[in-house]
Chains A and B, each alone.
Chain A
Amino acid sequence: MSERCRLSWWRGDGGEGARRNLGLIGVLVVLILIGIATRPDLYGDSGWVWNNILTILKLASVVGVVTVGMTFVIIGGGIDLSVGAIVALAGVWCTTLATQGYGAGGMIFTALVVGLCVGLVNGLLVSYGRLVPFIATLAMMVAARGLAAQISGKQTQVSDNAAINGIASTDLLGIPLLVYILATVVVAGWVLLNRTTFGRRTVAVGGNPEAARLAGIDVRRHTVLLYGLSGLCCGIAAVMLTAQATSAQAEMANLYELDAIAAAIIGGTLLSGGRGTIVGSLLGVVIFSTITNLFAINGLSTEAQNMVKGGIIVAAVLVQQFQFRSLAQFLSRNRLSTG
Chain B
Amino acid sequence: MTQHSRDLSRRRLLFGGAALGAGALLAGCTSNEAAPTAAQTKAAEAAAGGNSAPGKKVTVGFSAPAANHGWIAAITANAKAQAGVYSDVEFTSVEAGADAAAQRAALSTLLAQKPDVIVVLPHDGKELNAFGLEAMKAGVPVVNLDRAFPDARAYRLQIKGDNYGMGVAAATYIAEQLKAKGVSTPIIGEIPGVDSLELTQERSKGFADTLASYGFKVANRRPAAFTADSGQQAATGLLQALPKIDAVWNHDDDQGIGVLAAVNQTGRKEFFMVGGAGSKKAMEDILADKTVLKATVTYSPSMASSAISLARLIGQGRGMSDLVELQVPKEIVLASETITKENASNYLKLGF
Contact assessment for B227 and A157 in the assembled complex, using a CB-CB cutoff below 8 Å: no
Distance, CA A45 to CA B243, complexed state (A) = 10
Known contacts being A251-B227, A253-B229, is A155 close to B240, with CB within 8 Å? Answer: no
Name the segment of A187-195, A209-217, A241-249, A280-288 touching the other chain: A241-249
Distance, CA A168 to CA B264, complexed state (A) = 10
User: Which of A42, A97, A296: most chain B Cβ within 10 A?
Assistant: A296
Known contacts being A110-B26, A158-B257, is A296 close to B240, with CB within 8 Å? Answer: yes
Q: Say yes or no for B197: interface residue by CB 8 A criterion.
A: no
Q: Say yes or no for A48: interface residue by CB 8 A criterion.
A: yes
Distance, CA A254 to CA B68, complexed state (A) = 13
Distance, CA A48 to CA B243, complexed state (A) = 8
Contact assessment for A155 and B195 in the assembled complex, using a CB-CB cutoff below 8 Å: no
Name the segment of A2-10, A51-59, A271-279 touching the other chain: A51-59
Closest to B279 in A: A156
Report B25 CB to chain A, min CB distance, Å.
Answer: 8
Closest to B234 in A: A296
Contact code string A156-168 (vs B, CB < 8 Å = 1, else 0): 1110000001001
User: Which of B219, B238, B260, B265: most chain A Cβ within 10 A?
Assistant: B265
Closest to A107 in B: B29
Known contacts being A251-B227, A296-B222, is A246 close to B257, with CB within 8 Å? Answer: yes
Distance, CA A19 to CA B210, complexed state (A) = 54
Residues on B with C-beta less than 8 A from A149 are 68
Contact assessment for A244 and B261 in the assembled complex, using a CB-CB cutoff below 8 Å: yes
Contact assessment for A245 and B257 in the assembled complex, using a CB-CB cutoff below 8 Å: yes
Closest to B260 in A: A246
Contact assessment for A99 and B227 in the assembled complex, using a CB-CB cutoff below 8 Å: no
Chain A 210-250 residues near chain B, CB threshold 8 A: 241, 244-250
Distance, CA A249 to CA B240, complexed state (A) = 25
Partner of B33, one of A97, A156, A292, A293: A97
Report B235 CB to chain A, min CB distance, Å.
Answer: 10
Contact assessment for B258 and A247 in the assembled complex, using a CB-CB cutoff below 8 Å: yes
Distance, CA A59 to CA B261, complexed state (A) = 14
Partner of B265, one of A156, A169, A248, A293: A169
Residues on B with C-beta less than 8 A from A94 are 29
Known contacts being A168-B265, A254-B227, is A96 close to B257, with CB within 8 Å? Answer: no
Closest to B37 in A: A155
Report B347 CB to chain A, min CB distance, Å.
Answer: 19
Residues on B with C-beta less than 8 A from A196 are none
Distance, CA A151 to CA B28, complexed state (A) = 11
Partner of B236, one of A58, A117, A165, A250: A58
Residues on B with C-beta less than 8 A from A253 are 229
Report B257 CB to chain A, min CB distance, Å.
Answer: 5
Contact assessment for B220 and A154 in the assembled complex, using a CB-CB cutoff below 8 Å: no
Q: Say yes or no for A252: interface residue by CB 8 A criterion.
A: yes
Closest to A178 in B: B265
Contact assessment for B232 and A98 in the assembled complex, using a CB-CB cutoff below 8 Å: no
Contact code string B53-86 (vs A, CB < 8 Å = 1, else 0): 0000000000000111110110000000000000
Distance, CA A98 to CA B221, complexed state (A) = 38
Partner of A113, one of B22, B226, B230: B22
Contact code string B202-228 (vs A, CB < 8 Å = 1, else 0): 000000000000000001111101111
Contact assessment for A155 and B73 in the assembled complex, using a CB-CB cutoff below 8 Å: yes
Residues on B with C-beta less than 8 A from A156 are 70, 227-228, 254, 257
Report B300 CB to chain A, min CB distance, Å.
Answer: 17
Contact assessment for B67 and A154 in the assembled complex, using a CB-CB cutoff below 8 Å: yes
Contact assessment for A93 and B26 in the assembled complex, using a CB-CB cutoff below 8 Å: yes
Contact assessment for A169 and B32 in the assembled complex, using a CB-CB cutoff below 8 Å: no
Known contacts being A244-B232, A245-B232, A252-B229, is A297 close to B241, with CB within 8 Å? Answer: yes
Distance, CA A59 to CA B227, complexed state (A) = 16
Residues on B with C-beta less than 8 A from A51 are 240
Q: Say yes or no for A26: interface residue by CB 8 A criterion.
A: no
Contact assessment for B228 and A110 in the assembled complex, using a CB-CB cutoff below 8 Å: no
Partner of A96, one of B22, B32, B223, B281: B32
Contact assessment for A93 and B221 in the assembled complex, using a CB-CB cutoff below 8 Å: no
Distance, CA A252 to CA B69, complexed state (A) = 11
Residues on B with C-beta less than 8 A from A165 are 261
Contact assessment for B261 and A168 in the assembled complex, using a CB-CB cutoff below 8 Å: yes
Contact assessment for B261 and A245 in the assembled complex, using a CB-CB cutoff below 8 Å: yes
Residues on B with C-beta less than 8 A from A98 are 28-33
Distance, CA A45 to CA B244, complexed state (A) = 13
Closest to B222 in A: A296
Q: Say yes or no for B231: interface residue by CB 8 A criterion.
A: yes
Residues on A with C-beta less than 8 A from B237 are 59, 292-293, 295-297
Closest to B227 in A: A251
Contact assessment for B30 and A93 in the assembled complex, using a CB-CB cutoff below 8 Å: yes
Distance, CA A245 to CA B238, complexed state (A) = 15
Closest to B243 in A: A48
Q: Say yes or no for B233: interface residue by CB 8 A criterion.
A: yes
Known contacts being A55-B240, A296-B240, is A245 close to B258, with CB within 8 Å? Answer: yes
Q: Say yes or no for B47: interface residue by CB 8 A criterion.
A: no
User: Which of A151, A154, A165, A292: most chain B Cβ within 10 A?
Assistant: A154
User: Which of A93, A113, A155, A252: most chain B Cβ within 10 A?
Assistant: A155
Residue contacts A-B, CB under 8 angstroms, 30 given? A93-B29, A93-B30, A97-B31, A97-B33, A97-B34, A98-B29, A98-B33, A110-B29, A117-B19, A117-B26, A153-B73, A154-B68, A155-B73, A156-B254, A156-B257, A158-B281, A168-B265, A169-B264, A244-B232, A246-B257, A246-B258, A246-B260, A247-B257, A247-B258, A247-B261, A251-B225, A252-B227, A254-B230, A296-B220, A297-B241
Q: Which 8 A-B pairs have the closest CB atoms?
A: A296-B237, A98-B31, A245-B228, A154-B67, A246-B261, A245-B229, A245-B258, A99-B29
Given contacts A154-B70, A154-B73, 16 further A-B contacts (CB under 8 A): A97-B32, A102-B29, A151-B30, A156-B227, A157-B32, A244-B232, A245-B227, A245-B261, A250-B68, A251-B68, A251-B225, A254-B227, A295-B237, A299-B241, A301-B195, A302-B222
